[in-house]
Amino acid sequence: MLRLRGRLTLLLLAPALVVGCLKTLDESKIGAADASTEGGSGATGGDAGGSGGSGGTSGTGGTGGTVDSGPDSPWPGVVPYDASKYPVTNLASTSARAIISVDDSDVFRTELDGTSVPLFRHPIAGGSGNQVPGFTLERPQAMVAPTGSISVFVVGGTDQGGGTLVRVPKAGGAAESITPQTPIELAVGIAAAADGYAYVSTKAIAQNTTALLRFQLTAGATTGETLYVTADGNESGGDVVVTGGCVYWVSNGDVWGIPTTGGARLAALSTAITDAVGVAADAVYLYYTRAGGSVWRKKVSTACDSGSSVEEKLTEGFTGIGDLVTYEGKLAWTAEGDVSANFAGGGVFSSSAAGGQVTQIAPEDDGPVDIAAAPADIVYATSSGLIRKVPKKPL
C-alpha cells in the first residue's frame, strides 16, 4: 500500500460492463466465507514518527469536478464527489503516514515503517481513540485485525533487514512473535483467511529465500509455515488475498497464485504485467489495480493459475491509484492524486464489482492512500496522516 506516484492525466473512466474485549475464542474460525480479510503492503521509508491523534469531528470535503471521458471513450465520466451524500468524518490525525486495519467496531493504525512505534485504536463510530498498551512495533508494513479475534496481526521487519511477524492483543498486553521456518526478509503483505491462517508475503532479494508463508491465527501458535521459496530472489512482495483455496499476491508488479497448502507458484494472469499495485477478491473474481491508473478483474481458477478466462479492464484514468477493497458486490479504491499539485485528481472511488458507473465517494484532500471496509463505512488513510471514514451508502 501507500506508494508515492508520479503525475498522470486524470481521465476517470468506467466501463459499461463495468475487516474488544479479551475473551476465550477459537480464532481458527475467524474469516469471511468467500475471501480473506487483507492488510495490504505499504511503501518503506515512511515519514518521521508522530503522536496519536484524537477522534475528529465530522467534516465535509471539497466538491469534485466533472470528468469528460471524451467522445471516443468506452466509459462514462465519474460522478463527482457530493459531500451531502458522502460526508467524511475524521477519526484520527497524526503527522506520520499510517497503515490501517479495521474490525467491526474499531480502526487500528500505526506508523508505516516506523521504529518502536505504538499501535492506536479508534472507534469507527467516533470519539477519542487510545494507544494500545504493552508493546511497540518495528518497521510495520501491513496489518490485519479480523472481526471476532482478540488480536491484531502485524508484519514488518528490523533495521538489520530481517522480517517480523507479531500477534498483539487488541486490548493491550504483551506481543507474541511468530517464528518462520527459515529466516525471512522484510514482510510486506498479510491477509487473514477463513481457514484460520494468516498469509504473508515478503521481500526476498536473496536467492532461495521464503517469499510466501502462513501461520495460525490461534493465540499461542508461534511457528510459521513456508509456502513458497524463490530460487532466483529479487522478489518485491506485496498485497495478499485468499479465496477459493488459493493465495494470490503481488510481487514485482505481477499477480501470482498458489494453493493455500503451498506448491509451485503460478501466474494468476494470462498476460504478464509489471505494474500491479493492490489486489482483492470475492468468491468469483480477482480484482487488481495497476500503477497506470486502471482497475481490472479476472475470474479465479480452482487451480490457482490463470485459467481460461481473460482479464477485463473495468475503468482507468486514476492518478496515483492505490489499494482496493470489495464489499457487498462493490469495489472501492484510493487515488492519491498529483502530490505536486495539492493531490489533484485524487479521492476514493466506488463502482459495482461488475463494472459500470464510477462514483467519487471521498475528496482528494490530503491524498487518500490506504483503505479498509468496515460494516457501514469505508475507512481510509491519507498521505498526510488523517484517518477518515465515509459511508458505504449515500445519505
Tell me, letter by letter, the H, E, C secondary structure of 179-212.
Answer: ECCCCCECEEEEEECCCCEEEEEECECCCCEEEE
Q: What's the pLDDT score for residue 309?
A: 95
- Of 74-88, 140-154, 329-343, the range with the lowest mean pLDDT is 74-88
DSSP secondary structure string, 18-65?
---------GGG-S-SSB-EEE----SS-PPP-PPPPP--EE--PPPP
27 phi and psi, to 5 degrees?
-75, -5
Q: For 57-68, how does the pLDDT look when each residue is reduced to its tens digit (9 = 90+)?
A: 333 344 444 344
Give the chain's mean pLDDT: 87
Q: Which grid coordinates are listed for 124?
A: 469507527
* Cα first-last separation, the chain: 29
pLDDT at 226 exceeding the cut of 90: yes
pLDDT at residue 15 tops 50: no
State the DSSP code for 92: E
Give the CA radius of gyration of the chain: 19
Q: Is pLDDT larger for residue 107 or for residue 35?
A: 107
Quick one: pLDDT band at residue 7, thresholds 50, 70, 90? Answer: very low
Cα angle 250-256-260, degrees, rounded to a multiple of 5: 105
CATH architecture group of domain 27-57+94-321: 6 Propeller (2.120)
The predicted pLDDT at position 38 comes to 72
Q: And the C-alpha cell for 126?
A: 467516533
Is the model's pLDDT at 6 over the cut of 90? no
Pairing of strands 209-216, 225-230: antiparallel
Identify the burial level of 159 via C-beta atoms within 10 angstroms of its C-beta, where 0-12 means exposed, 13-18 middle and 19 or more buried: exposed
% of the chain residues with pLDDT over 90: 79
Read off the pTM: 0.85
- Say which residue, 105 or 5, is predicted with more confidence: 105
Rounded-to-integer distance, Cα 4 and Cα 2, Å: 7
User: How sure is the predictor about 252, in pLDDT bands with cuts at 50, 70 and 90?
Assistant: very high
Spatial CB neighbours of 194, under 8 Å, sequence gap ≥ 6: 30, 31, 32, 33, 34, 36, 242
The predicted pLDDT at position 23 comes to: 30
* pLDDT score recorded for residue 181: 97
Residue from 362, 348, 353, 212 nearest 288 by CA: 353
- Give percent of the chain above pLDDT 70: 82
What digits encode the pLDDT tens for the residues 179-202? 999 999 999 999 999 999 999 999
pLDDT reported for residue 182: 96
User: What are the boundaries of each domain within the chain?
Assistant: 27-57+94-321
Collapsing DSSP to helix, strand or coil, 283 comes out as coil
What pLDDT does 74 receive? 65
Confidence of residue 40 (pLDDT cuts 50, 70, 90): low
- Give the C-alpha separation, 314 to 307, whole Å: 19
Taking alpha carbons only, the member of 178, 272, 274 closest to residue 221 is 178
What integer pLDDT is reported at residue 27 of this predicted model? 40
pLDDT given at position 37: 76
Higher pLDDT, 78 or 38: 78
Q: Report in angstroms the alpha-carbon separations of 383 from 86, 291, 387.
A: 20, 17, 10
pLDDT at 357: 96
The mean pLDDT of 11-33, rounded to a whole number, is: 34
Higher pLDDT, 69 or 222: 222
Q: What's the pLDDT score for residue 36?
A: 80
Specify burial of residue 85 (Cβ count, 10 A radius: 0-12, 13-18, 19+). Answer: middle
Q: What pLDDT digit, counting tens, does each position of 81-108 carry? A: 999 999 999 999 998 999 999 999 999 9
What is the C-alpha to C-alpha distance for residues 241 and 260, in angstroms, rounded to an integer? 11
pLDDT digits (tens, 9 = 90+) for 121-153: 999 999 999 999 999 999 999 999 999 999 999
List pLDDT tens digits, range 258-315.
999 999 999 999 999 999 999 999 999 999 999 999 999 999 999 999 999 999 999 9
Nearest to 281, CA basis, from 373, 378, 368, 369: 373
